[in-house]
Amino acid sequence: MTYKSKYSKYGSAKQAYGGRNYHSKKEANYAFELDMRIKAKEIKRYTNQHKIELYVNDCHVCDYFIDFRVEMNDGTYEYHEVKGFETDTWRIKWKLTQACYPEYKLVLIK
C-alpha cells in the first residue's frame, strides 16, 4: 500500500490559494502578497511557475521553474523565488540562471 503525505520531503505543507495549489504555505502567502500589490497598483500582474530554459554553449542543460514572474508597472519583469530550504540542485540552477540571464532581475524571498 502506498501512502501519500501532504508534506514534502522538506517538511513543507502544500497550500491552496486563489484556486491554485502551491508547494508551501510561504509560497501561497507570497501569492496573496502579490495580489495585494496588484490591488495597490504597485505591480501589473504575475504568473506562477514560469519556465526558464537554461542553455550552455547552445546545449539545453535543464529547465528552471521559478515561482513567480512579476510584471512591473513600467513593463519590466522580475523573477521571484520563495525559498524555505535551499537544496544543492536549487543553488546550481539559481547560479546558472544568473549566469545565463544577467539581464534578469532575480529576487530571492526567504
So where are the chain's domains?
44-110
**What is the distance between the alpha carbons of residues 39 and 68, in angstroms, rounded to a whole number?**
17
Q: Judge if pTM exceeds 0.75.
A: yes
Query: What Å distances lie between residue 67 and 3, 79, 96, 107, CA to CA?
Result: 27, 8, 16, 10
| pLDDT of the chain, 110 residues: tens digit per residue | 444 445 555 666 889 999 999 989 999 999 999 999 999 999 999 999 999 999 999 999 999 999 999 999 999 999 999 998 899 999 999 999 999 999 999 999 99
Cell of 43: 505591480
Q: In whole angstroms, give the CA distance from residue 95 to residue 89.
A: 10
The sheet that has 43-56: what strands, in order across it?
43-56, 59-72, 77-82, 105-109
